[in-house]
Amino acid sequence: MALMTTDNSLHQRRRPLTAAELDAIAWLRLLAPHERERAVDDLKIADASPGDYVCRTGRPVTYWFGVVAGLLKMSSDNAEGHTMTFTGVPPGGWFGEGTALKREAYRYNIQALRKSLVAGLHVDTFHWLLDHSLGFNRFVMNQLNERLGQFIAAREIDRMTNPDIRVARSLAALFNPVLYPGVGAVLRITQQEMAYLVGLSRQRVNEALTALAEHGAIRVEYGGLRVLDLQALRSQVF
């Protein structure tokens, strides 16, 4: 079966993971040796180019996906054709566990904002791990709990009119250590990519980032952003 059923080119580029790529997957370290062996045998990875869809609304789930490198965008389109962006998915982030659990069709689109490495675990192996691995169950439960809070926050952000607060809250969401353990202290993101995620112009994002830097919440570095005060971003106290 195809790793990325929504894009034949991604399917054609699939391959096994290297040792370094496997080391980047945090939940593998929670598995017993025989569980890890089964997961590693099933895992595949593919290079996603900017604009590639990893999954689309209405397509049946076949894999549980994770970002080894790069940046993806999770969004949906309403009946009027307007797009709502829920969040970005930076390195270390795995997504779609709720859809995989129910074996239902996707209710959102996942698209690459830049060249990315996207791994996939087949939904049957995902369920096998749920049936056999306590460590994997705990990981998925934590994911679901954090995801619930993330989507509630996304709805709040979508209603905010203050651009600085929208950017602050969106940045804070990308520095979630449970959902995105691969980010660390520096998020590799451009102002244009941030604009896509927040739904603002690049110029307005630049103004917001400048304001956040002046308040000491972040520091803009070459190729990314360093968070200096995560609590300030989450609480919007500047």
* Confidence at 2, pLDDT banded by 50, 70, 90: very low
Tokens of 210: 């400048």
pTM of the complete model: 0.83
Domain covering 161-235 in this structure, CATH number:
1.10.10.10
pLDDT for the residue 199: 84
**Mean pLDDT value of segment 31-54:** 96
Confidence band (pLDDT; 50, 70, 90) for 90? very high
Instruction: Map out the domains of the chain as residue ranges.
Output: 8-154, 161-235
The stretch 156-169 carries a mean pLDDT of 79
Listed range (56-60, 79-83, 146-150, 196-200) with the worst mean pLDDT: 79-83
Cα–Cα distance for residue pair 127/144, rounded to 1 Å? 15
Look at residue 237 and tell me whether its pLDDT is greater than 60: no
Reported in sequence order, the residue ranges of 78-176 that DSSP labels E, i.e. its strands, are 83-89, 94-95, 109-112, 116-122
Confidence of residue 236 (pLDDT cuts 50, 70, 90): low
Average pLDDT estimate for 109-116:
93
Q: Does domain 8-154 have CATH number 2.60.120.10?
A: yes
CA neighbours closer than 13 Å in the CB half-sphere of residue 122: 11
